[in-house]
Amino acid sequence: MENILPWFVLKSVPGIGNHLFKRLIACFNSPENVFEASGKDLIEVKGITPRLITAIRHHKIRDPVKKDFDLVMKKGYKIITLADRDYPPLLLQIPDPPPFLYVFGCLKGSFRNIAVVGSRNATDYGISTTRRLCRDLALLKMTIVSGMAIGIDSAAHQGALMGKGNTIAVLGSGLEIVYPAENRKLFHRIAENGAVISEFPLLTEPEPHNFPIRNRIISGMSLGTVVVEATKRSGSLITARLSAEQNREVFAIPGSIHSFKSTGTHTLIKQGAKLVEHAQDIMEELSYMIEAPHEKDKTSHELIERTSRLSSEESLVFEAIGAYPVHIDDLARTLSIKPGKLSSILLQLELKGMLHQSPGKLFSRAAME
């Protein structure tokens, strides 16, 4: 594991949130380079003020941060940063990805992720339907992402394990605070067959405001979100909304028209979410995003070979673009690159066959032939 202490230190600088952290890494590649950068270079980054430059220059590691770091080392947890190959590739595309993730288990940078969320007070129908769906998705080599809550979340993880597949739990607490406590056994089973992750320091309690924050990770690292048994005021609808805002797919499993526990899912269907009866409904919707297993290794090898020939600036821009189209203005804001220079880099990437431009100045990665 790389020297991660500077990541902890930069994250603890007052005034540097996830958006700004992402811009700084995009410009300077590492926290060490940020701390060594001149004031002239730092002020060029959107959102950096003279006061923040002073804070960066004079910031010292605080005791709680040092204790958290020391505990990570003692317990043997992994830290996956924005610069790591195993950082979830889809999560990199959201505006405010966590600078790093605390990981218990093995996070492989999976792309074939599908989020499944729903009610904590689920019915037998909701539990059995979720387990069967996630088992079938796992058999189709999809990784199930959920929040390890009681109810639908737990059933989603259990279904993935039944299908002998991978599953990822995203916590609203630190990894040292297993919540809910009755899921401790499931916590360890998930880590053995995937990963339990969090962006919160290890000893963070499961405060209510943490859960909407973690929901953006559940949706952000997934190709789409499936909602099962959600009322009109369910927190699962927050995840569905975030999924739509992140330009991901939204799916919903219908329930009884007489059950208030499915009023939220039925509302999603009325608003355009795809109705799901079987795993194949999801696979068909995502088919254009998912390659056949025998093609994946070939594509990955070719991608590594082609990206190795890019300049550092071209690599930076290419890594910021995923399979979903992104507008040039959004890229410019994310990377803090002047539009003229960015247009030139994008053109070079197009000429090299790395990018595809759609009408309206939208860019996505070109298919590997």
A 10 A CB-CB count for 115 gives 34
DSSP 231-281: -TT-THHHHHHHHHHTT-EEEEE---TT-GGGHHHHHHHHTTPEE-SSHHH
Contact 172, 209 (CB under 8 A): no
Kindly state the tokens that stand for 346: 């994008």
DSSP 114-147: EEEEE-SS--HHHHHHHHHHHHHHHHTTPEEEE-
What DSSP state is assigned to residue 48?
A: -
Give pLDDT, residue 3. Answer: 86
Please give the backbone phi and psi of residue 237, each rounded to the nearest 5 degrees, phi first.
-70, -25
Give pLDDT, residue 293. Answer: 44
- Angle CA 307–105–292, to nearest 5: 45
Read off the pTM.
Answer: 0.79
Contact 135, 163 (CB under 8 A): yes
Q: Dihedral sign, CA of 116, 117, 120, 125?
A: negative
Give pLDDT, residue 339. Answer: 84
Contact 105, 128 (CB under 8 A): no
Contact 12, 22 (CB under 8 A): no
Give pLDDT, residue 369. Answer: 47
Which residues of the chain carry a pLDDT beneath 50?
A: 292-300, 369
Query: What would the pLDDT profile of 229-273 be if each residue is shown by its tens digit?
Result: 988 888 899 999 999 999 899 999 998 888 888 999 999 999 999
